Structures are given as structure tokens and as C-alpha cells.
């Protein structure tokens, strides 16, 4: 997997100098690692993308790292045990349990930091 992102020069400036984020892709941000190569803004050119993809296709160690990181990333997106328990309580009280991403996100925020 390779991330390719082009934007207007003002958007690039804002992201690079104001947002102060190290990565653009959500997996890289959440894992705090450049596990997915990113071709951003001016470097998002066909030749550069081809080089990144060629390296990925031929580097089996990198492929394995991406697979393992994808598993970690998906696990980060899964509802925690606490949220699953709260959803189960909803169904016991006769309420229809809401497993929508927005409901899971809301429960995550509401239960953040609670033991």
C-alpha cells in the first residue's frame, strides 16, 4: 500500500507548516510510524509512485510489516471491551443496540479514561 496525495500549494503549505503532523495517512498517524510510504504533494509524481510501488512489490519484509501493521491498525479501530459491554447493556434494557461507527465513537469518547 502506498499513499498518494496532491493538493493546492496553499493546502500543502498549511499542512506542512501549520498542522505540524508527521504523517498524512490515518494508519501512519495512529501507529506513529511510516509503515505506509507516502508520496505527498510535489513528490506525488508517476515516477516516484512507480518507484515506491516497485520497492514494495519486491521487498517481502516490507510487505510483511505492512500486513502486521494493518492488523494492529484494524484492532485500534475496533470497539474496546468496555464499549462492547455498554452496547450489550443497551440491548438488555430493551433499547436497540447501536453499532454504528458514530455510536461506537461517541461511547469511546464518553468512556475515555474511565477504569
Query: Helices in the chain by DSSP H: which ranges?
Result: 9-13, 26-31, 46-58, 60-77, 81-92, 101-110
pLDDT tens for each residue of 24-46: 888 898 899 999 999 999 999 99
**Host domain of residue 58:** 3-77
**Residues 90 and 97: beta-carbon distance below 8 Å:** yes
pLDDT tens for each residue of 85-96: 776 776 655 565
- What pLDDT was estimated at residue 73? 85
Instruction: Say how far apart CA 93 and CA 109 lie, in whole Å.
Output: 22
| Residue 53 resides in a domain | yes
Q: How many domains does the chain have?
A: 2
| Residue 92 resides in a domain | yes
| Residue 36 resides in a domain | yes
Q: Do 95 and 60 reside in the same domain of the chain?
A: no
| Residue 104 resides in a domain | yes
Amino acid at each position: 500500500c502506498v499513499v498518494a496525495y496532491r493538493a493546492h500549494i496553499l493546502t500543502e503549505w498549511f499542512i506542512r507548516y501549520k498542522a505540524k503532523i508527521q504523517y498524512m495517512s490515518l494508519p501512519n498517524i495512529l501507529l506513529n510510524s511510516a509503515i505506509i510510504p507516502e508520496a505527498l504533494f510535489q513528490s506525488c509524481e508517476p515516477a516516484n509512485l512507480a518507484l515506491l510501488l516497485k520497492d514494495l512489490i519486491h521487498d517481502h519484509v516490507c510487505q510483511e510489516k505492512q500486513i502486521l501493521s494493518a492488523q494492529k491498525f484494524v484492532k485500534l479501530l475496533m470497539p474496546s471491551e468496555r464499549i462492547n459491554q455498554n452496547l450489550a447493556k443497551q440491548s438488555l434494557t430493551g433499547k436497540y443496540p447501536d453499532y454504528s461507527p458514530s455510536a461506537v465513537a461517541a461511547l469511546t469518547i464518553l468512556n475515555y479514561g474511565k477504569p
